[in-house]
Chains A and B, each alone.
Chain A
Amino acid sequence: MSSVELLPLPTAPVERWGVHEVTWTGPSDGNPFADVALRVAYRYRNRVVTVDGFYDGDGVYRARFMPDRVGRWEYVTSSSAPELDGHRGSFECVAPGPGNHGPVGVHGAHHFAYADGTRYDCIGTTCYHWTYESKEIQELTLASLRSAPFDKMRMCLLPTDGMRPERLPFVGSAPGSVDVGRFDPAFFQHFEARIADLLELGIQADLILFHPYDRGVWGFDRMTPDEDAAYLRYVVARLAAYRNVWWSLSNEYDFNREKTIADWDRLLQLVQRFDPYQRLRSIHNGTKMYEVFTPYDFSKPWITHQSVQHWDGAEVAAWRACPKPVVIDEIGYEGNAGRRWGNLTADELVHRFWQGMTLGGYVGHGESFVDRETRAWISVGGRLYGESPARLAFLRDVMAGLPRLPDGDVDPDRCVVHYLGDRRPSAVELDLPVGPPYSFELIDTVAMTITPLPTAYSGRCRIPLPARPYLALRGTR
């Protein structure tokens, strides 16, 4: 026998950062979700990455894995069920295809980049329950996203108290008759297809794993620690291999009175333990818009970035004291809802974006028009009606074009950006770095125009302005 003959036969090649999936047949009696442990150890050279397999119904077990090195990967299963144990296989990981930049990770202290080094812009939006809508609305949402500037989507796995969907992550469809010890593979198969759709559009899926809008109706906000752990383990086993997945442990975590900070610590740590890739991981606070602000302690090591709800983009400067990217995922939504969080003008929303992003943070979009053909975008997706997306596309382009330092911050020696806000000054006094003068342009964030100014400036200077709001100055040299 030679070493070559002992090599497991390879299956079809997989792109770097793509998904390798294997399927086996195993026990279907009892509760396979709880009774059967399946782990798969993938090996590149000597480095082993171990993932949880999962039960996909009808006696079918799967494992999903994202290879991150080009070359041969081998795998071997270990399982409590003899028929799932000791299976070996291999595949070749090949170079990524066009548009595949790998997963997004933290870059420097306050920014993001794809694994291949490409900058990630991070202009997100929110459609909490778009995957629960009709097929037509879901397709409409994807069509809307195709022509929108957004590269991240915040979306929930679990339904709210008022929803009565046909399918849930768990088996059962009516409050009181759900078995949280069993998962519904069909729900997840559909959900995964939507994550893959977002991936195709270059959009990160920021998955909200818990939320407080259950209020005990389904009981998903007050499961036992073991039930929470089993849910998280199953979700991570199924979804973590998709390179566009992020974990948001909870929306408005502090509005769930059934859980303590210690609970959230534990649940975040569990996700970290289950996740072989260490996808971006955070937890989002509530504010009742302008009322309260009790963000989670983002300095805890299991947090990768600061997923903040707050109304004021100017606070970014203070939050940057914590060396993790600041993402104001909810800053208020453009719309005409009956609540303060959902009836901002486009001017006001885009103003808040410019404030936060010129300070080195990131801001998320949302829209809540309640009297149009499709319901509020933040809840169901559908169609976008507002004026902010076009202006945010303009903002995204401006931010992407700024010269940056290796850590991702704007390089002040080459470029200054000064956002002038919602006032209408006739001139502004700036204290610029001395040395060669900066050529200035006037950016109109509403009209989306960039106009060169006739004079260059450096040091202490006074720049005349047209006395209207929502302007920015960009100086480059």
Chain B
Amino acid sequence: MTEVERWAVFERAVDGGPAVVEFRHESGEGAYVESFTDADRQMLRFMPDLEGSWHYTLAGEAHSFVCTPPTTRGPVRRVGSGLRWADCTPYHPLTTTWFGSADNWSEACRALAASPFSRVRLRALPSMLDRLDAQVQDLLAVEVGAEILIPAGDAAVIRELVNRLAAYRNVTWCLDAAGDVRALAELIAECDSSRHLISVHAAVDPGVPWLTHLSVPLENLRGVSALRRDYGKPVHVDACGYEGDGSTPATSLTGQEMLTRIWEGTVRGAHVAHGEWYVDRDGGPWSGGGARPTGVVAQRLRLLREVLDELPDGVEPIDDYRDAPTLAVPGSYYLQYLGEHRFPERTFSLPAGTYQVEVLDVWNHSVRRTHQTVGDTLTVRLPGTQYQAIQIRRTT
């Protein structure tokens, strides 16, 4: 019998015209899959998310396959105001923006694989869905998430796009705010048998239940805290500006400004996307579809990548320190970001114990680590320069 790993892709061609198939798991859970057109033939794709036997009927004939245990963490799910992999482990993406088409893709994909980024925003061009399909597969192979920006417009194209890509576990959907957002979101939800995350970029009302998270343009990242409070959903800052030398204020941020925006938003509990717009670089601006990121920020985000990878489960923004954003698991873990401010020192109230204290120089990519025993307060001396973060981890 056919075997498919949990969260992998079951795929088959179907004879004749467009087909609609109901996959039914032995538990009674069901999924609905429409075929899509791939080079003159109809294909069905489905990502089983339950182990065990799945049954379906095609052209009057009963078929089945067995879903076996996974070797991946699966797609990403919203849990409250956080994101988790389907296996329940926390998900902390680091996103960049690549709005190209086909040129430079193989270099760009290699650059992504070698970068600190784990997720990329791509634009869906209705005339090039097969190309997008190949790009998403390339990204899946290097474990990079693909945020698909879906332009407002033809429902038939969107249906074809979703039927083609939904079975890839690394996909998320982002709609344009123009058009009938509710109708499009419902159409995608109907077709998407994997129930991927879905948002509307700059939604008029992101609070509606058919959107899983916020996708916002935001220049002042302090605004993240209010968005999290108001909506109780994960917040993606899709566009906080671009590092570069473009001709607009949004595409000519200094490296320092771009880096500090990403850190500020992240430590306030958002997922902040990187973008880069150096006009004359080889292959053109990275975020316009260039061959590789050439700016100073992408390299410096390796430190953030390390921090994100080691964040303990359950970390949340806390309000205890009103003058600096702080992520914490109270009592055991703190990450505070000081931004453009040059504090000489910072004091924390902590339970008695021993802590590993790190002062991260975010701009210079250096870490000064000490171990300290605390009675009730801990004072951390700082170098008096900008872009410092403090990470405190309880060791006993």
- Which one of B23, B204, B208, B232 has the highest number of Cβ atoms from chain A below 10 Å of its Cβ? B208
B282 contacts A by Cβ under 8 Å:
no
Given the known inter-chain contacts A7-B24, A43-B30, A46-B192, please indicate yes or no for A1 contacting B207, CB distance below 8 A: no
A139 contacts B by Cβ under 8 Å:
no
Q: Please, which residues of chain A bring their CB within 8 A of the CB of B32? A: 45-46
Contact A272 B208 (CB under 8 A): yes
Complex alpha-carbon distance, A199 and B380, angstroms? 65
Contact A46 B193 (CB under 8 A): yes
Given the known inter-chain contacts A46-B189, A46-B192, A46-B193, please indicate yes or no for A2 contacting B205, CB distance below 8 A: no
B281 contacts A by Cβ under 8 Å:
no
Q: Which B residue sits closest to A301, measured CB to CB? A: B205
Given the known inter-chain contacts A3-B23, A6-B24, A46-B191, please indicate yes or no for A273 contacting B186, CB distance below 8 A: no
- Which one of A46, A50, A269 has the highest number of Cβ atoms from chain B below 10 Å of its Cβ? A46
Which residues A1-42 have CB closer than 8 A to chain B?
A: 1-4, 6-8
Contact A2 B209 (CB under 8 A): no
Which residues B7-61 have CB closer than 8 A to chain A?
A: 22-26, 28-32, 53, 55-57
**Contact with A3, one of B55, B205, B207 (Cβ below 8 angstroms):** B55
Contact B55 A46 (CB under 8 A): no
Measured CB to CB, the closest approach of chain A to B105, in angstroms, equals 30
Contact A272 B30 (CB under 8 A): no
**Contact with A6, one of B28, B192, B208, B231 (Cβ below 8 angstroms):** B28
Instruction: Place the interface of chain A in its size category.
Output: 20 to 34
Contact A3 B26 (CB under 8 A): no
Interface string of A63-101 (1 = CB under 8 A from B): 000000100001010000000000010000000000000
Complex alpha-carbon distance, A342 and B189, angstroms? 49
Measured CB to CB, the closest approach of chain A to B315, in angstroms, equals 23
Complex alpha-carbon distance, A74 and B32, angstroms? 12
Contact B62 A3 (CB under 8 A): yes
Contact A44 B55 (CB under 8 A): no
Q: Which B residue sits closest to A74, measured CB to CB? A: B30
Q: Does more than half of chain B's interface fall in helix, strand or loop, or is it mixed?
A: mixed
Q: Please, which residues of chain B bring their CB within 8 A of the CB of A76? A: 28-29
Contact B62 A45 (CB under 8 A): no
B190 contacts A by Cβ under 8 Å:
yes
Q: Please, which residues of chain A bring their CB within 8 A of the CB of B232? A: 269, 273
Contact A301 B204 (CB under 8 A): yes
Complex alpha-carbon distance, A273 and B80, angstroms? 11
Complex alpha-carbon distance, A273 and B30, angstroms? 26
Q: Which B residue sits closest to A274, measured CB to CB? A: B209
Supply 25 A–B pairs (Cβ within 8 Å), ascending by A.
Answer: A2-B57, A3-B22, A3-B55, A3-B56, A3-B62, A4-B57, A6-B30, A7-B28, A46-B31, A46-B32, A46-B192, A46-B193, A46-B195, A47-B189, A74-B30, A76-B28, A76-B29, A88-B28, A265-B230, A269-B207, A269-B230, A269-B231, A269-B232, A273-B209, A301-B206
Residues of A in contact with B (beta carbons under 8 Å apart): 1-4, 6-8, 43-50, 69, 74, 76, 88, 265, 269, 272-273, 275-276, 278, 301-302
Closest 3 CB pairs of A and B: A47-B189, A3-B24, A3-B55
